[in-house]
Amino acid sequence: MENKQKEIDIKLVALDMDGTLLNSSDEISEGNRRAIKEAQEKGIYVVLSTGRSILTSRQHAESLQLSSFLVTVNGSEIWDQNGELVERNSVKSDLVQWMWELSQKHGTKFWATGVDKVWNDSMPEDIMAGEWLKFGFNIEDVHVRELILKELQDKELFEISNSSPINIEVNALGVNKARGLQTVCEKLGIGLEHVMAVGDSLNDMAMIKEAGLGVAMGNAQEAVKAEADFVTKTNDEDGVAFAIEKWVLK
């Protein structure tokens, strides 16, 4: 959907990681690295805005020599350029307990992001004692996925998205990547109209819709492509570099 032809003064590039910055081998290509380096040399802020926790995203930011903020766990946490926590938005422990019980009831795979550990298909003995940032369901069965999605929606207490067509990601209500980027932009003195946001899944939708330029990956879910201003190449074709070269480096 290449429908934005007007000049946009991009000052910040927000990048999702999985399915976007990272290729199918979970690596950052040389093409993407080069484009990000050139953007930074031009004075553009490059911010990773990811569903991942700081535990599995910080090393990628360091490898790119990013000198800006990190938006992690879909906006649940924001970290500054010194690696200090700026903001944290938790999911109430009793709601995480309920979601875990829901996953057990339907026999689904799940994961839960705590402030100091990501739990995969297992949980600590005392869920209520933990501080939680996100809960996720991996559900192959479409019928079961729809049942769980409806139960979550009926609560009206969650921000619900996904990072792949077969999962459901649950954050605290009102917590998403767009809100995280809004906080970052306020601290940098930049309006969201000067942001290019790039992603592939429903957890990228809010930032793609609210950014001055929303870019969907060639491998993005169709709903994301429909909301984007521009569709770039896939994550295995240096789609991030293609978008940066077109809209930022020109």
Given a cut of 50, is residue 20 above it in pLDDT? yes
Residue 2 lies in a domain: no
Q: Select from 172, 191, 226 the last residue of a domain.
A: 172
Query: Within 13 Å and on the Cβ side, how many CA atoms surround 120?
Result: 0
The answer on pLDDT for 92 being more than 50 is: yes
Place 250 in a pLDDT band, splitting at 50, 70 and 90.
confident
Let me know whether 150 and 42 are in one domain: no
In a domain, 153, yes or no: yes
State the pLDDT at residue 3: 47
For 178, half-sphere exposure in the C-beta direction (CA atoms, 13 angstrom radius) is: 19
| Residues 36, 79 within the same domain | yes
73 occurs within a structural domain? yes
pLDDT at 5: 52
DSSP notation for 163-178: SSTTEEEEEETT--HH
CATH of the domain at 234: 3.40.50.1000
9, 16, 116, 229: the catalytic one is 16
CATH number of the domain where residue 97 is located: 3.30.1240.10
Question: H or E element: which one contains 86?
Answer: strand 85-88
Q: Which amino acid is residue 18, in one-letter code?
A: D
pLDDT of residue 1: 46
The answer to whether residue 3 is domain-embedded is no
155 lies in which domain range?
Answer: 93-172
In this prediction, residue 108 carries a pLDDT of 98
Instruction: Quote the CA–CA distance of 165 and 31 in Å, as a whole number.
Output: 27
Task: Let me know whether 168 and 97 are in one domain.
Answer: yes
Give yes or no: 16 in active site.
yes
- Whether residue 218 is predicted with pLDDT greater than 90 in this model: the reply is yes
Structure confidence at residue 6 as a pLDDT band (50, 70, 90): low
Q: Are 98 and 149 in a shared domain?
A: yes
Are 74 and 192 contained in the same domain? yes
Region 213-238: mean pLDDT is 98
Residues 81 and 115 in one domain: no
Domain annotation covers residue 7:
no
Domain count, the chain: 2
Together in a domain, 17 and 129: no
